[in-house]
Amino acid sequence: MNPVNPIVADLVSRLDDNHREQFEERAAIMEFDAQLFRDIAECLALLDVLRRHPLALAGITALQYELDGETQWLVTTDLAYAREHLADICANEAAVLDLAEVIEEQYGGVAMLTTVG
């Protein structure tokens, strides 16, 4: 589904697949179940996704993966490249997660970044 409003369409085009799916689901529910006009439903759905995931438009993805029996996290701006890297080191991708939640839950709110490979 392509959003009606060009601003909403531009922002939605920047969402990753997971957030895009959430947007589409919420927009459809609001349009059909709440009987809102499509453009309003899409605006509200985008706001809801951004409320739940403030970094959704930042272009940053956090990946949880397993390597040698340990759970680790990888932060990337290029999901395809990160997945290639994980495959190269024989790691198993476990989940795509919200970066803010990973930093808060796994690192107590502060994390230090380093390069890989």
Domain ranges of the chain: 6-52, 61-107
Task: Summarize pLDDT for 96-108 with one digit per residue, the tens.
Answer: 888 888 999 999 9
Confidence of residue 117 (pLDDT cuts 50, 70, 90): low
Q: For the range 41-49, what are the long-range contacts, defined as Cβ-Cβ under 8 Å and sequence gap of 24 or more? A: 42/3, 42/4, 42/5, 42/8, 42/12, 43/5, 43/8, 46/3, 46/8, 46/11, 46/12, 49/15, 49/19, 49/22, 49/23
Task: Summarize pLDDT for 25-62 with one digit per residue, the tens.
Answer: 999 999 999 999 999 999 999 999 999 988 889 888 89
* pTM recorded for the entire structure: 0.68
Question: For 49-78, what is the mean pLDDT?
Answer: 91
